[in-house]
Amino acid sequence: MRDKATSIDIAHRAGVSQSTVSRALRDSPLVNKETRDKVQAIAAELNYKVDKNASNLRRQQSATLALLLFEDPTSDDSLINPFFLSMLGSITKASATAGYDLLVSFQNLNDDWHAEYEDSNKADGIILLGYGDYLDYRDKLSKLEEQGTHFVRWGAHDAEHPGVSIGSDNIQGGFDITQHLIALGRKHFAFIGGASKACPEFLDRYIGVTKALQQAGLVHDESMQIEAITTEQSGYEATQSLLQSGKKVDAIVCASDLIAMGAMRALRDNDIRIPEQVAVTGYDNIPSSSFTNPALTTMQQNTKLAGEILVKNLLQLINGAQLSQVLLPVELVVRQSCGAQKSTRQLAN
């Protein structure tokens, strides 16, 4: 043993990380009481003295990032949109690679996010995934910005959205998937999903759909846009409403895979064949989309790259960099629900 004990010595004796020792010695609530007591007892045994100047410097940064998720309505108890699960893994790995712990929580647990995380030294910055109704969410983002909190978010971006965002090119995604259906001879389109500023990502996908229809010289009927949130049940109910309207439709473009799965169930319940009578497409390429019957044509968002960029950009913000918005490309995944053969743009399942 060296003459002067270090936090590394305490970490070794306690069987915890050095960052856990640091938190335990300052009574951080992120460390449970049993571990705090154990670490503090070992520190006393080794006559460990905290360097107050170094401690104050460390307190300016916690070596922790906070990931806040919006609680989504789901068919299970997770309350997490399955699209975000793969991104969650990427964010966790990227944080660990950068030497940061990741604190995961839900956004609606407390309205004062800045007080709960960065200002209380729980985290040096925040990553936001999902937000429900953006019109309700926008004021909270503005508050974070006013407080000088370091944060990045996954989602659509424009002048009305505070903070730095990383998102996919949803307009191009909506355009590409519609253009693909048009090339297959589909002419009567419906879009299921929100198309307002309350859900800007869905709105961008809808804008892409309408642009492709207009470019092809097809009639765009606004009444064929049916509201739905991103759940199977909502997609089912929206499709039932569409079918009951009696309007002709041979292609349904859905704003998410979950909506599309509900739409397909509604079509089957009404003895409508997919894709012979109506083609269906989704968006997100969640794992279950390749196991629907028929398998779902959808748009792939690069969640691995998205997670890496979210962490990288947040760390750059924390270090004082000025960043611009990031828009990631999307890729069409062609499967049987639109009646096409394999495409050269198809991704491996």
Q: For residue 109, which amino acid is it?
A: L
Quick one: how many helices (H) and strands (E) in the chain? Answer: 12, 12
Contact (CB, 8 A) for 256 and 282: yes
Tens of pLDDT, residues 127-181: 988 766 666 677 777 777 777 788 898 988 766 666 788 999 999 999 999 999 9
The rounded percent of the chain whose pLDDT value lies above 90 is 50
Question: Could you tell me where in the chain the CATH 3.40.50.2300 domains are found?
Answer: 64-168+303-329, 170-301+332-338
3-state secondary structure of 252: strand
* Local confidence pLDDT in tens for the 349 residues of the chain: 446 788 888 989 999 887 788 778 877 666 788 998 999 999 889 888 765 444 434 445 678 999 988 766 666 665 677 888 889 899 999 999 988 999 988 765 445 655 666 666 788 889 988 766 666 677 777 777 777 788 898 988 766 666 788 999 999 999 999 999 999 999 999 999 999 888 889 999 999 999 999 999 998 899 999 999 989 999 999 999 999 999 999 999 999 999 999 999 999 999 999 999 999 999 999 999 999 999 999 999 999 999 999 999 999 998 888 888 899 999 999 999 998 654 434 333 3
Closest alpha carbon to 310 in 127, 163, 156, 69: 127
- Spatial distance between the Cα atoms of 91 and 115, rounded to a whole number of angstroms: 23
Q: What is the pTM of this model?
A: 0.77
Query: For domain 170-301+332-338, which CATH number applies: 3.40.50.2300, 3.20.20.450, 3.40.50.150, 3.50.50.60?
Result: 3.40.50.2300
The values of phi and psi at residue 108, to 5°, are -90, 15
Contact (CB, 8 A) for 72 and 79: yes
- Spatial distance between the Cα atoms of 33 and 16, rounded to a whole number of angstroms: 14
Q: Name residue, tokens 């996919």.
A: 168
Q: For residue 179, which amino acid is it?
A: Q
Average pLDDT value over all residues in the chain: 84
pLDDT given for residue 76 in this prediction:
61
Question: Could you tell me where in the chain the CATH 1.10.260.40 domains are found?
Answer: 7-59
Tens of pLDDT, residues 73-85: 666 665 677 888 8
- Spatial distance between the Cα atoms of 96 and 67, rounded to a whole number of angstroms: 13
Instruction: Please state the CATH superfamily assignment of the domain spanning residues 64-168+303-329 in this structure.
Output: Response regulator (3.40.50.2300)
- Assign domain 7-59 to a CATH class: mainly alpha
pLDDT given for residue 178 in this prediction:
98
- Spatial distance between the Cα atoms of 328 and 236, rounded to a whole number of angstroms: 30
pLDDT given for residue 321 in this prediction:
85
The DSSP string of 144-174 is HHHTT--EEEES---TTS-SEEEEE-HHHHH
Contact (CB, 8 A) for 71 and 108: yes
pLDDT given for residue 264 in this prediction:
98
